[in-house]
Amino acid sequence: MVIHKLCYKTAFRTQYRSYEYTVMPFGLTNMPSTSQLTMNEVFWPLLDKCVIVYLDDILVYSTTWEQHMKDLTTVFSLLQQHRLITKGSK
């Protein structure tokens, strides 16, 4: 997500109105590195233990089903704490 007070920096105008992004668009020059840095910071405690992150893809791996459910709960909790939104169909 784009921080609300900084949305104006993503604004663009058409002949009818202006628009501001509320989520980070992938077309911005620094978006991939910013996205990766953000995800690494969010998932730092879990990286290489049960999570691998590449841009907007999150791989959760575990040795048992029970542990996997715990790891998924932790991942979803971190996403919620950082106000990151997932796409349910993925």
Q: Residue 87 domain-assigned? A: no
Tell me, yes or no, whether 61 lies in a domain.
yes
Whether pTM exceeds 0.85: no
Helix or strand or coil: residue 62? coil
Q: Is the pLDDT of residue 77 over 90?
A: yes
Domain count for the chain: 1
What is the model's pLDDT at position 7?
73
Say if residue 31's pLDDT is above 60: yes
C-alpha span between 62 and 16 (Å, rounded) = 51
The answer to whether residue 86 sits within a structural domain is no
What's the domain range around 51?
4-81
Is residue 90 in a domain?
no
In a domain, 53, yes or no: yes
89 within domain boundaries: no
Residue 43 maps to a domain: yes
Q: Does 88 fall in a domain? A: no
Binned at pLDDT 50, 70 and 90, residue 35 comes out as confident
> Average pLDDT for residues 14-39, to the nearest whole number?
82
Q: Strand, helix or coil at 84?
A: coil
3-state SS, 6-45, equals HHHHHCEECCCCEECCCCCCCCCCCHHHHHHHHHHHHCCC
